[in-house]
């Protein structure tokens, strides 16, 4: 094929000096000096200098930066500071032209605001900082899958088009499904619980949907969730899994993404462990001491979490929430039934994950649904699985996009999501 290349730029080595290679990429910079043209060629792996001499320049013609070229040439040593090698072109072919000016500067010399970048996201991916964020995200996903598999969790994929709500009625997107109403799944909650009856330990990494009209740096209408569910585990067991997983991700990225960290300008530091475990009750006391008017049973507002987050920077668990603040599937504590076997994993003020021990007795589960104003008839398919030998089980869900913001030190999830969806953004 005429457009196939022999090497990525990062694969050029001293052994290749004097040998012919075929490179392909984008013209990042281009300088004409008399009969010579110096091209900085970029591909996904790096940059190389290309020297184009004499008549070959005619092949190039009038060409804009960011056009795509394929170069056949000989690898040689270079005196130029920014490059390890250069390639003396023998053939050069323009495969696709780029317009000038482009809507955003892919080199990042002229900074564009996030909305402009998101409107031209594919081009933004040629900006090395943005590309590094998504290379890092790839490594995060790799690490999550590796660690959970080692912990004997099986990866599953649950449906995203569903017939009834998984997390209660609020924040559901509905759609017409051949004359019936269907919904977009808010979480894999019910399915992952059901899977414990045969697979014991499962995980899923998928997108889920919330019709939340929130305009913050941490809410999207489509977000990626990492979910686990495990039979024969209590909430502190799955908290241990979560803490281990977060630490492994930090270690993996810190060790394997050195170049990306440098380009992003943020060093990934492995957090100290164990993560502090603060009870909801202690949290209320702490807030009262700070002069907040808050009582046991109140949900923690963003302003409260900002205070707690300031006092406890980094990762910590908030545990043992009141039952009335938790979803219908969460189980109570034996010694105090007003409290639940539940937790949130926080990073400062930011909620990263929530989870807990689940109710596995169908009668109690039905009663809880009614207590929370939900109709058990809507959960028939789910409830019947509880009559087939449902083991005690626990799990959690963690927002991948939020976890990513902690790793790269930004406060807007839109930076780490390819094409974010929020109430104001449905395209591109």
Binding residues for ligand AMO, total number by CB under 6 A: 23
Q: Is 73 in the site for ligand AMO (CB under 6 A)?
A: no
Least spacing, CB of residue 377 vs ligand AMO, in Å: 21
Q: Is 219 in the site for ligand AMO (CB under 6 A)?
A: yes
Q: Is 278 in the site for ligand AMO (CB under 6 A)?
A: no
Per-residue 3-state assignment (H helix, E strand, C coil) for the chain: CCCCCCCCHHHCCHHHCCCEEEEEEEEEEEEEECCEEEEEEEECCEEEEEEEECCHHHHHCCCCCCCEEEEEEEEEECCCCCCCEEEEEEEEEEEECCCCCCCCCCCCCCCCCHHHHHHCHHHHCCCHHHHHHHHHHHHHHHHHHHHHHHCCCEECCCCCEECCCCCCCCCCCEEEECCEEEEECCCCHHHHHHHHHHHCEEEEEEEEECCCCCCCCCCCCEEEEEEEEEECCCHHHHHHHHHHHHHHHHHHHHHHCHHHHHHHCCCCCCCCCCCEEEEHHHHHHHHHHCCCCCCCCCCCCHHHHHHHHHHCCCEEEEECCEHHHCCCCECECCCCCCEECEEEEEECCEEEEEEEEECCCHHHHHHHHHHCCCCHHHHHHHHHHHHCCCCCEEEEEEEHHHHHHHHHCCCCHHHHCCCCCECCECCC
Q: Is 340 in the site for ligand AMO (CB under 6 A)?
A: no
Q: Is 193 in the site for ligand AMO (CB under 6 A)?
A: no
Least spacing, CB of residue 12 vs ligand AMO, in Å: 41
Task: Using the minimum distance from each CB to ligand AMO, give the nearer residue, 29 or 171.
Answer: 171
Task: Using the minimum distance from each CB to ligand AMO, give the nearer residue, 125 or 205.
Answer: 205
Q: Mark 4-33 with x for binding to ligand AMO (rule: CB under 6 A) and - for no binding.
A: ------------------------------
Least spacing, CB of residue 225 vs ligand AMO, in Å: 5
Q: Is 236 in the site for ligand AMO (CB under 6 A)?
A: no
Q: Is 401 in the site for ligand AMO (CB under 6 A)?
A: yes
Q: Is 204 in the site for ligand AMO (CB under 6 A)?
A: no
Task: Using the minimum distance from each CB to ligand AMO, give the nearer residue, 12 or 305.
Answer: 305
Q: Which of 7, 402, 404, 406 binds ligand AMO (CB under 6 A)?
A: 402
Least spacing, CB of residue 352 vs ligand AMO, in Å: 5
Residues 133-172 that bind ligand AMO (CB under 6 A): 167
Task: Using the minimum distance from each CB to ligand AMO, give the nearer residue, 252 or 328.
Answer: 328
Q: Mark 359-398 with x for binding to ligand AMO (rule: CB under 6 A) and - for no binding.
A: ------------------------------------xxxx
Which residues of this protein are in contact with ligand AMO, per CB under 6 A? 167, 187, 189, 210, 212, 219-220, 223, 225, 227, 351-356, 395-399, 401-402
């Amino acid at each position: 094929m005429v457009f196939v290349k022999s090497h990525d730029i990062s694969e050029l080595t001293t052994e290749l000096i004097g040998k012919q290679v075929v490179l392909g990429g984008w013209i990042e910079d281009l300088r004409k000096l008399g009969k010579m043209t110096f091209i900085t060629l970029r591909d996904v792996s790096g940059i190389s200098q290309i020297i184009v001499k004499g008549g070959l320049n005619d092949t190039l013609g009038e060409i804009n930066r960011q056009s795509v070229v394929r170069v056949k040439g000989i690898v040689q040593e270079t005196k130029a500071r920014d490059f390890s090698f250069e390639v003396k072109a023998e053939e050069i072919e323009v495969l696709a032209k780029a317009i000038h000016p482009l809507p955003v500067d892919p080199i990042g010399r002229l900074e564009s605001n996030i909305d402009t970048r998101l409107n031209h996201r594919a081009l933004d991916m040629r900006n090395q900082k943005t590309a590094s964020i998504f290379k890092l995200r790839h490594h995060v996903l790799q690490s999550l899958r590796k660690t959970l598999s080692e912990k004997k969790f099986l990866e599953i994929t649950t449906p995203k088009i569903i017939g009834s709500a998984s997390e209660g009625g609020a924040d559901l997107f509905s759609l017409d499904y051949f004359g019936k109403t269907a919904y977009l799944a808010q979480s894999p909650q019910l399915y992952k619980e059901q899977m414990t009856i045969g697979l014991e330990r499962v995980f899923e990494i998928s997108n889920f949907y919330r019709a939340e009209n929130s305009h913050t740096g941490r809410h999207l209408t489509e977000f990626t969730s990492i979910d686990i569910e495990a039979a024969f585990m209590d909430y502190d067991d799955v908290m241990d899994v979560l803490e281990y997983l977060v630490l492994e991700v930090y270690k993996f990225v810190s060790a394997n993404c050195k170049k990306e960290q440098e380009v992003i300008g943020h060093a990934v530091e492995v957090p100290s462990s164990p993560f502090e475990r603060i009870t909801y009750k202690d949290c209320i006391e702490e807030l009262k001491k700070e002069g907040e008017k808050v009582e046991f049973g109140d949900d923690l507002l963003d302003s409260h979490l900002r205070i707690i987050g300031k006092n406890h920077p980094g990762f910590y668990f908030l545990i043992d929430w009141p039952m009335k603040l938790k979803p219908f599937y969460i189980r109570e504590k034996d010694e105090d039934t007003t409290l639940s076997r539940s937790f949130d994993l926080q990073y400062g003020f930011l909620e990263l994950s929530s989870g807990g021990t689940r109710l596995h007795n169908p009668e109690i589960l039905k009663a809880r649904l009614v207590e929370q104003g939900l109709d058990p008839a809507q959960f028939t398919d789910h409830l019947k699985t509880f009559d087939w030998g449902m083991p005690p089980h626990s799990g959690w869900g963690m927002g991948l996009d939020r976890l990513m913001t902690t790793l790269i030190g930004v406060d807007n999830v839109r930076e780490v999501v390819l094409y974010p969806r929020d109430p104001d953004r449905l395209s591109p």
